[in-house]
Chain A
Amino acid sequence: MKKTFSLLFVLVLALAFTGAVFANGGSEGSAESADSGNLEASLALDSAVAALTAADGQPLIKVSGTSRVVPARPADPEALSEDDPLHWWDMEFAGENSVKKNIPESPKDGAIGKKVIMIVHGDHPWTTACINGATKVADVYDMDFKALSPNWDLAVQNQMIDQAINEHPDLLLLIPLDAKTAPQQARKINQAGVPLIMFNTLPEAAAMDYCIAWTGPDDFGQFRKLSHLWADKLGKTGGVAYVQHAPGGSPYFARYWGPRSELAVYAPDIKVLDAQAPGFEADKTQQLVSDWLTRFGDELTGICAADDSAQALGITEALKKAGREDVVVIAAGNSKQGMDLVKEGKLFAITYQTAEGDGALAVKTAADWFNGVDLPPVRNLPQHMITADDVEDFYPPQW
């Protein structure tokens, strides 16, 4: 035992000593500031980026053309009922009223050759498509680009943030694993002096203070719009149930409270029967919906799902088995399964959620920052609902 301790004590001391000696030795400085020619060359590449297309043939870079009207923030949104759309103001419009802290100035020396590290949330076909889109844009600007995945583990994501800081990138792109863990992560990156752009998952408002900008889908806006289509199809009456996203992230709130609070105003006669988060397994969702059909019978006329792949498959299978194909189902995302179900008439509508475009917009926004473009605090992907009328336009699917 003594031997073991002695051996390890010496080892730890040796590691600490060598670590201290090489404290700065392992790091590499970022690329030297390029000359003004780099900026001009970089700006010239913008047109090449604009011409890129995603796997579904849609333009890769799409920014919402219409600015959403941001209502005035209530004095205390939390005090309002959850069925009041303004209750969700801080989450829905996070970043709109952020007070930026210690944000680095743009070097205005072009994006070409810049070292950019992207940390996503976890492995998933969506993430693969997202990284593909990001890589397409990074390649045009000849960036030194790397994507890391913590596989849905917060401890690993925190470690990857440390590792990324250690590599002294010119900019860090981050999908926070959880909206509420984002402030401390963003603060840490900010304190290390690394420029940060967050994307996809909408973080807590406090995190927005520490990042240059946030880019991604307007989940709340999409679902508010989708809920109008849904309510019209339902004749603004009936009973609905929600299959929720995994608790914690912004999609959990946007895809449940977004439509629910919107319908409370737009179609108040629609009754909410239940809401459950069964995860992303088709069989569990199928069981949940079968239980609903037994419990509510004909009262259940609509289902809203947070995911158009596994959850949607579970829902449609349960409805088919019960012979209840009259139930109007809507969902988020445009995966292959989701679009196939729209084509078959089993899903009424889904949201256009370009995975490649999500990653691409984040990298393009980084390039714009290197190019000295004035950036808004929030850059949204466009809103679009896919129905049987236009689903063919989105084939082949991105994931």
Chain B
Amino acid sequence: MMLNKLNRNEILSMGDKFRIYVLLVVVFITMTIFAPHFFNAWNLTSIMKTVSMNATVAIGFTIILIVGQLDLSVGTIITFAAVIGLGLKGAVGYGLSVPLAIVAGGLIGLINGVLVAKVKINSFIVTLGMLTALQGAIYTITGGNTIAVTDHQAFAISDWLQHQIIPMVTPRVIITLVLVIGSSVFLRKTRIGRNFFMVGGNSQTAWLAGVDSDSYTIVAFVISGVMAAIGGILFAMESAAATLNLGTNSLMYVLSATIIGGTSMAGGKGGVFRSFIAIVTLTMLYNGIVLLGLGNEVQIFISGIILASVILYEAYVEFKHEKLVGQRPELLKELEAAQ
């Protein structure tokens, strides 16, 4: 009965909103049934530990997409923060080196934000430039060497961060969950948070409503930098080492997950929590693929298929939406010209 009342667009809208939860459940049940050693506390905890870094990065990245921008530098900010945090530990201890690493991430985000919002350079160009500059800085600072800490305190903190409190929950997972839930509530339940959607959805409306788009864009980049830095430094502390390509693979991973989670690259739409669920889903999928004895190439293939399917689906939804509201003036013009 209820289904009868729902029109096609409502079903599409619901599918759009809940697809990632459906995907999570499907992957979880499939892997539980077919992948050996998938469903036990150790493995599920391992999945959540892996999720932590990229989930933290995805918070900032989602906000960046919501305001209609792009941040290609998150991967190198992860590495940069890890290098700063571990590199300075010997001199000032984690008590100061960790905050410094996070502040460094924020400053990088601030530079990105100012160049995008005030100097009006495309965010793709700005963050690509930042990525390259940071890579150079990292190699200069480290001399090409991995930064590692092998003292008793470093190992003790590493052990503590990955200590399983209850199945699936370690201190690092708790930190990640707090950040994810806090950011979700902030975005959805506060006026300032909702303004990010307005800036990305329609900047003219935002301007008419008295929302300073430039400030929100800058803040989004700062949040992105800070979150990438937190993700990087926590991972490095847990590994007791910061390799020079630590964040290299994170950009594509986070980008895929954020889009799969329903955040629009056009801006104005998305959710941090759904990005988090997408990261969990992809990590579970990759974990299960390995447990099934399949190779890395299968991982890449399947993630490509999922991403392509989601993008096609998004395009279809967008097409239906535009058709519905009659916002395809370019087609009308083409038709007029043809007549």
Contacts and interface: CB of A to CB of B under 8 A. Distances in A.
B139 A247 contact: yes
Contact of B44 (A4, A5, A19, A155): A19
B121 interface: no
B145 A247 contact: yes
A19 B41 CA distance: 4
A137 to B, nearest CB: 19
Contacts of A123: 295-297
Contacts of A151: 296
A27 interface: yes
A1 B189 CA distance: 10
A344 B44 CA distance: 54
B293 A16 contact: no
A146 interface: yes
A307 to B, nearest CB: 16
A119 to B, nearest CB: 10
Contacts of B246: 154-155
Given A23-B42, A160-B290, A204 B144 contact: no
A167 B37 contact: yes
B293 A146 contact: yes
B42 A277 contact: no
Given A162-B49, A247-B144, A247-B145, A19 B243 contact: no
Nearest to A248: B146
Interface stretch (B111-119, B208-216, B233-241, B329-337): B233-241
A167 B24 CA distance: 24
Interface in B120-170: 139, 142, 144-148, 150, 155, 158, 166-169
A29 interface: no
Given A181-B146, A184-B158, A163 B43 contact: yes
A163 B53 contact: no
Contacts of B28: 15
B94 interface: no
Interface in A330-372: none
Contacts of A177: 243
Interface residues of A, number: 52
A30 interface: no
A187 B293 CA distance: 25
A163 to B, nearest CB: 6
B80 to A, nearest CB: 15
Given A1-B188, A159-B46, A181 B39 contact: no
A183 B38 CA distance: 27
Interface string A145-163: 0101111111110111011
A277 B37 CA distance: 41
B72 to A, nearest CB: 18
Contacts, number: 152
B300 to A, nearest CB: 8
B37 A26 contact: yes
A388 to B, nearest CB: 33
Interface in B289-319: 290-291, 293, 295-297
Contact of A23 (B41, B50, B241, B290): B41
A247 B83 CA distance: 14
A115 B245 CA distance: 32
Interface string B268-287: 00000100010000010011
A179 B146 CA distance: 8
A319 B176 CA distance: 53
B296 to A, nearest CB: 5
B240 A20 contact: no
A167 B166 CA distance: 20
Interface string A109-153: 000000000000001000000000000000000000010111111
A204 B150 contact: yes
B40 interface: yes
A7 interface: yes
B257 interface: no
Given A165-B42, A166-B46, A16 B144 contact: no
Contact of B168 (A16, A24, A247): A16
27 contacts: A7-B21, A8-B21, A8-B273, A19-B40, A19-B168, A20-B41, A22-B40, A25-B39, A26-B42, A27-B42, A28-B36, A153-B249, A154-B243, A155-B246, A155-B249, A156-B50, A158-B50, A162-B43, A162-B49, A163-B291, A165-B42, A181-B146, A184-B155, A204-B148, A247-B146, A248-B244, A248-B245
3 A-B pairs with the lowest CB-CB distances in the bound complex, closest first = A26-B40, A247-B144, A180-B148
